[in-house]
Amino acid sequence: MTQVVRIHETGGPEVLRFENLEIGAPGPGEVRIRVRTIGLNRSETVYRAGNYPVRPKLPSPMGYEACGIIEATGPGVQGMAVGDRVCVFPNYHLGDYGVYGEAAIVPACSVLPAPPALTDVEAASIWMQYFTAYALIEVARIGVGDYVLIPAASSSVGLAAIQLSNWAGATPIALTRHNGKAEALRAQGAAHVIATAGTDVVAEVMRITAGRGARTAFDPVGGPFVEKLAESLAEDGILFIYGGLSGQPTLHPHWPAAFKNLSIRGWVASYIWKHPERLERARQNILKGLADGRLKPVVAKTFPFAQIVDAHRYLESNQQVGKVIVTVP
């Protein structure tokens, strides 16, 4: 029997339930891994609460980012073998599979070799954040002289966006609600930090950019603040909205978009991993950045598997700067 965590109802962290299940052998195109570390993502907390675009089919497995060792391969699996140390990256829908457990069965196409120079904790904290933030490179093609607005900058994706911006020669402007994380964000490479509570964000962005505005904004929050982000962009700027953490409707900022000829688009990392050539290009560039030290996963805190409920509570508290990782015995 294998200890796993599933949900049988939606709600707060307390609905995460430990169970002993027989997970069996992997089917065609699947592998079974012995899980060592689990990377938590905010989308999982939204899914657990029942507010994600994909509704849970209860009881539902949880989680889609991990590092572990392959224990078995199913029929038709090629290019990987028992004993390989691998990462699971989230190219399947939440609830279709789950890695919250001592072992997990996942699609072989969701598995990548773990970078050998990274620890298990670090290896569980790379692909979701860098593939998501890679929109700045793949689509916006930011470069020298560009300014990048990064709301929720202390999240793992926010920090990845800061690192990618710096690597590209752009100037990252971190947005955070209060000044409590300003020093930490500067230490992580933010050229400027704006505490949005009580600040005229548009005026501050224009001051920083000498009236030009930012080339792009990369926003996981949505809601009414999108209007301010649009007003802060330069002509022909790009506003990415890749999440809805505000829980409020996101209205189209028509007039700023019209007057500045802005592009406003949604974004999910599947834009990359649904296309093999984009996936391989992004993967190789991320691996190069990790090897060169341009990219460095930032881990805020680790929790033992037995405390995964507390890990969810911590993730939702917004105290963290970086990734929250769960270690599995």
- The confidence score (pLDDT) of residue 90 equals 87
Query: Is the same domain home to 135 and 117?
Result: no
Radius of gyration of the chain (CA): 20
Query: Is the same domain home to 146 and 201?
Result: yes
In this prediction, the residues of the chain whose per-residue pLDDT falls under 50 are none
Q: DSSP assignment of 247-310, as one string? A: -S-----HHHHHHHT-EEEE--THHHHTSHHHHHHHHHHHHHHHHHTS----EEEEEEGGGHHH
- The confidence score (pLDDT) of residue 235 equals 98
Q: Would you say residue 282 lies in a domain?
A: no
Query: Is the same domain home to 241 and 307?
Result: no
Across the beta sheet with 147-150, the strand order is 192-195, 171-176, 147-150, 214-219, 233-241, 263-266
Q: Which of 226, 252, 270 is the last residue of a domain?
A: 270
- The confidence score (pLDDT) of residue 207 equals 98
- The confidence score (pLDDT) of residue 231 equals 98
Query: Is the same domain home to 137 and 215?
Result: yes
Write phi, then psi, for 21 (nearest 5 degrees).
-130, 155
- The confidence score (pLDDT) of residue 247 equals 86
Total domains, the chain: 2
Query: Is the same domain home to 158 and 39?
Result: no
Domain range holding 153?
130-270
